[in-house]
Amino acid sequence: MKDKVFSNIVKRLAEVKKLENLTVKEIRLLSTPKRIAYTKLKIGKKTYPAWRILFSDALGPGKGGIRFHPGVCQDEVKSLSFWMTLKNSLAGLPYGGAKGGVQFDPRQASDKELQQVSRKFIDAFYKYLGQDKDIPAPDVYTNSQIMAWMLDEYEKKVGYHQPGMITGKPLDLQGCVLRGDATAKGAFIITKAMLKKFKLNKKKLKVAVQGFGNAGLFMSQMLAKDGFRVVAVSDSKGGIYSKTGLNIKKVIAIKKKQGSVTKHKQGQVVTNAQLLELPVDILVLAALENQVTKDNAKDVKAKYIVEVANGPTTYDADQILFKKGTMVVPDILANSGGVTVSYFEWAQNRTGNILDKDYLAKLLETKMLSSWNKMMTVYREHDKKIDLRASAYIIAIRRILSAERLRGNL
């Protein structure tokens, strides 16, 4: 099972190589991380493997979140750092790509242990981090409080304030007012653009959302508030389905009070696997990678998939979905709202110029729609014979390779 996630990336790069006539040297550069930093964090008698991987800094300092999860491994962190590289490039941000991870389950930890792991991560990797080097942010099972501990530990290590070394911070530590629901907000903007492009009536659509963490919860909330019929949602413990539509406000209340959406009495309980195959029009993937695979892609009934998670669809599944006519809005576009708002936060930290919330919200929409339009232009240029992911990859890779050529590395 070694490199089971990154192997999908290698296959996709091979596809882009043919489409763009890339050289072996260009592919090698695109598929090789610049730095892999690894250690084991020691907390009492326990040790937790930890990584910070910088994939590319051709376009600027590394940028990417830190996830705490018991399943974290080097292959996953490497893949995530690659996707961050393309995501930041597609969004037109002045960043390369990076990612961090700790093989640790914060759901089973005390606040004390959670803080210890957070600070130990910075102790291990702070020399690689900084507002001009590599800028972390929250990811799966990390949040603004963890970013606050990490900022504090970093500043103790270096001996001066540098709020721009990390994003996703609390507002009182110079965070950004939009950051909490930014990933979902960006995905919602793209979903609305998709409806407009393909002339879809939201009142006639049924939506299922896999994943009910930060992004999935906010996405469900935004969809329901805007008039979409959300018929199914799920978290790590399972899901619920009601073909007439769920009361998302009540689902959120149950989730917060009892820990899982499955405790909600409305509808029937389904597994995460079953949710993927429900008779819906739009499937929002907001959980983890490798959810739609060659084994279940043929049974996915949704005509449109929006990837709020990173890498939820494998390469083989993409081929099956494309042949079926299923439209997949790729992760490097759909979930780029989070890093775009992180950019706003970083820029504010560096300049000291705090911008108005409404202005930033409009700027986020402008940037998301610009990326959507660029992707659709390439899609049309190829006469719709490639999927949206390949279209997005082409745009991102062109910008990265241009930067490498200008630097004299190609």
Does residue 46 sit in helix, strand or coil? Answer: strand
Give residue 43's Cα distance to chain centre.
29
Q: What is the pLDDT of residue 2?
A: 44
Q: How far apart are CA 97 and CA 34, in angstroms?
A: 10
CA nearest 348: which of 180, 175, 179? 175
DSSP 298-367: GG---SEEEE-SSS-B-HHHHHHHHHHT-EEE-HHHHTTHHHHHHHHHHHHHHH--PPPHHHHHHHHHHH
**Phi, psi torsion values for 393, nearest 5 degrees:** -60, -40
Q: What is the pLDDT of residue 60?
A: 98
User: Per the residue annotation, which of 63, 78, 87, 99 is the catalytic one?
Assistant: 99
Tell me: the pLDDT tens digits for 12-36? 999 999 999 999 999 999 999 999 9
Domains of the chain: 34-165 (3.40.50.10860), 182-329 (3.40.50.720)
Contact of 129 with 154, CB cutoff 8 Å: yes
Instruction: Decide: residue 256, CB within 10 A, 0-12 exposed, 13-18 middle, 19+ buried.
Output: exposed
Per-residue confidence (pLDDT) for residue 5, from 0 to 100:
85
Report residue 355's pLDDT band, with 50, 70 and 90 as the boundaries. Answer: confident
Instruction: Report pLDDT for 405.
Output: 97
Interval 107-131 mean pLDDT:
97
Give yes or no for residue 346 having a pLDDT over 50: yes
Instruction: Please state the rounded mean pLDDT for residues 194-218.
Output: 94
In this prediction, residue 180 carries a pLDDT of: 82
**3-state percent helix, strand, coil for the chain, nearest multiple of 5:** 50, 15, 30
- Tell me, yes or no, if 99 is annotated catalytic: yes
CB-based contacts of 29, cutoff 8 Å, min separation 6:
401, 404, 409, 410
Check whether 48 has a pLDDT greater than 70.
yes
pLDDT at 325: 95
**Axis-axis angle for helices 111-125, 144-158 (nearest 10):** 40
Alpha-carbon distance 353 to 147, whole Å? 21
364 phi and psi angles, rounded to 5 deg? -60, -45
Q: Count CB atoms within 10 A of the CB of residue 117.
A: 21
Segment 135-150 mean pLDDT: 96
For residue 3, pLDDT beyond 60: no
pLDDT of amino acid 242: 94
Q: Which of 76, 116, 122, 120 is nearest to 99 (CA)?
A: 76
Q: What is the mean pLDDT of the chain?
A: 95
Per-residue pLDDT tens for 261-281? 999 888 899 999 999 999 999
pLDDT tens by residue, 90-111: 999 999 999 999 999 999 999 9
How much is the pTM? 0.94
Q: Give me the pLDDT at residue 1, please.
A: 38
Under the banding of pLDDT at 50, 70 and 90, the label for residue 250 is very high
Q: What is the mean pLDDT of residues 165-192?
A: 94
Res 335 pLDDT > 80: yes
What token pair was written down for 31?
């598929």
How far apart are alpha carbons 313 and 324 in whole angstroms?
15
